[in-house]
């Protein structure tokens, strides 16, 4: 993307025109969910809620990978880090996410070898450099990261790296949208679909869900102008009564997405029912290693099987990830739960809705909340 184009996506004049266009529409209450955690952060960083008319409400969705990682998966990561000679490689955000009795950060403090990596390939390098130890990568994320994990496993296979394995808590986006729309508690007039995930899935990746539920849906980029444009398109769809699946991130997302990345992903992973933290099990929404890649499955390698434990009482992350509640409606927000002492995953991750509210809305007194 040229500097000229980058400038356009942050252009205050274009943003102002879009804001005016939104305000000039016929007022009608509308609730739009930004599915992706990166959108949540961008929306708050740029103060977008305060720029919208009062009849448009934005809700955060289940697109923060750390937030939706099930308690059981966090407990599994913790158990794996306790195995003899294991180096546990993890994304930084996961360190402080509380499991049922510990966290990866607490394990590190107790002397386990837990290392923060920025990519699965860093973990692979660690495996190469430590042939006498075993490296377990804690794999979380969506369609965006899964192809990279799959590619790392193929590299490990090619190079005969046998001291590397993963526990996959990977998830897919379209089944989560369907689960939200199936819930009688959820009330959404439109989705701002995630830009990064859509680079892989393409617009076509949402076609089946859109055709079934006919809810206005627009793929959006991450600059303020991208987000405002998508909101405007969602509002127009609502007012016209003609729901559409549209792409407002044409510079990065094509109708077919990235078939090569999907091919690598589906070579390694198979769909499976998956538990989403605070939401529950969503059919065929997870990505588990196919049987022929069992040798990379850390749980099978170490014989680990963790039972699901109930969520600690008080944390409303599930309702927040489904757009049923806003962070300020959680009694612990800013009291028992802050970014320094998080009680739930939505306050830990930089992409979590509670963390975004706390950071950019402070005490939650804003009228837009």
- Per CB under 6 A, residues contacting ligand SF4 are 314-317, 320, 327, 330, 332-333, 337, 343-344, 346-347, 354
CB of 114 or CB of 346, closer to ligand SF4: 346
CB of 264 or CB of 316, closer to ligand SF4: 316
CB of 156 or CB of 346, closer to ligand SF4: 346
Task: Look at strands 190-193 and 170-171 and give their pairing.
Answer: unpaired
CB of 306 or CB of 322, closer to ligand SF4: 322
Torsion of CA 119, 123, 124, 125, to 10 degrees: 100
- CB of 98: closest distance to ligand SF4 in angstroms? 10
Beta strands in 160-279, from DSSP E residues, in sequence order: 164-168, 170-171, 190-193, 217-219, 245-247, 269-276
CB of 169 or CB of 320, closer to ligand SF4: 320
| Spatial CB neighbours of 128, under 8 Å, sequence gap ≥ 6 | 159, 161
* C-alpha distances in Å from residue 141, one per residue of 40, 147, 169: 16, 10, 7
Measured from each CB, the residue nearest to ligand SF4 is: 344
CB of 60 or CB of 165, closer to ligand SF4: 60
Distance CA 28, CA 83 (A): 56
Q: Are 58 and 40 in contact (CB under 8 A)?
A: no
* Strand ranges across the sheet with 164-168: 114-116, 86-90, 134-139, 164-168
- CB of 321: closest distance to ligand SF4 in angstroms? 9
Tokens of 97: 């996410």
- CB of 322: closest distance to ligand SF4 in angstroms? 12
- CB of 329: closest distance to ligand SF4 in angstroms? 9
H or E stretch including 61? strand 56-63
What DSSP assignment string belongs to 350-369?
TT-HHHHHHHHHTTT--TT-
Task: Look at strands 56-63 and 86-90 and give their pairing.
Answer: unpaired
Distance CA 74, CA 248 (A): 35
CB of 139 or CB of 316, closer to ligand SF4: 316
**What's the alpha-carbon Rg for the chain, to the nearest Å?**
21
Region of 72 please: left (phi>0), alpha (psi -120 to 50) or beta.
alpha
CB of 105 or CB of 344, closer to ligand SF4: 344
- CB of 353: closest distance to ligand SF4 in angstroms? 7
Strand partners, 34: 60, 192
H or E stretch including 134? strand 134-139
CB of 274 or CB of 346, closer to ligand SF4: 346
Task: Please classify residue 252 by burial: count the beta carbons closer than 10 Å to its beta carbon, then call 0-12 exposed, 13-18 middle and 19+ buried.
Answer: middle
């Amino acid at each position: 993307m040229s500097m000229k184009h980058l400038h356009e996506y942050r252009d205050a004049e274009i943003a102002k025109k879009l804001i005016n266009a939104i305000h000039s529409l016929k007022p009608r209450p509308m609730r739009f969910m930004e599915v992706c955690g990166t959108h949540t952060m961008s929306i708050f960083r740029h103060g977008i809620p305060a720029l919208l008319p009062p009849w448009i409400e934005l809700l955060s969705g289940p697109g923060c990978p750390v937030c939706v990682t099930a308690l059981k998966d966090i407990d599994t990561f913790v158990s794996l880090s306790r195995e003899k000679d294991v180096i546990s490689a993890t994304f930084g955000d996961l360190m402080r996410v509380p499991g049922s009795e510990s966290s990866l950060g607490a394990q590190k403090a107790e002397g386990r070898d837990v290392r923060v990596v920025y990519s699965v390939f860093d973990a692979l390098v660690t495996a190469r450099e430590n042939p006498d130890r075993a490296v377990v990568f804690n794999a979380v994320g969506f369609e965006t990261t899964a192809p990279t994990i799959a590619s790392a496993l193929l590299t490990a296979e090619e190079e005969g790296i046998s001291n590397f394995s993963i526990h996959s808590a990977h998830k897919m986006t379209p089944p989560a949208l369907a689960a939200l729309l199936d819930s009688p508690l959820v009330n959404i007039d439109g989705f701002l679909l995630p830009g990064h995930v859509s680079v892989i899935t393409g617009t076509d990746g949402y076609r089946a869900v859109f055709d079934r539920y006919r809810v206005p849906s627009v793929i959006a980029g991450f600059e303020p102008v991208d987000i405002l444009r998508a909101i405007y398109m969602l509002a127009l769809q609502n007012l016209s009564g003609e729901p559409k699946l549209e792409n407002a991130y044409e510079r990065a997302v094509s109708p077919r997405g990235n078939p090569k990345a999907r091919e690598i992903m589906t070579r390694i992973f198979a769909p499976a029912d998956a538990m989403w933290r605070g939401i529950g099990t969503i059919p065929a929404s997870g990505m588990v290693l196919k049987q022929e890649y069992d040798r990379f499955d850390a749980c099978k390698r170490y014989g680990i099987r963790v039972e699901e434990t109930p969520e600690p009482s008080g944390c409303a992350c599930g309702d927040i990830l489904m757009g049923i509640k806003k962070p300020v409606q959680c009694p612990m927000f800013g009291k028992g739960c802050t970014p320094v002492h998080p009680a739930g995953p939505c306050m830990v991750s930089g992409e979590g809705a509670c963390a975004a509210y706390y950071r950019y809305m402070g005490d939650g007194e804003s009228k837009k909340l």
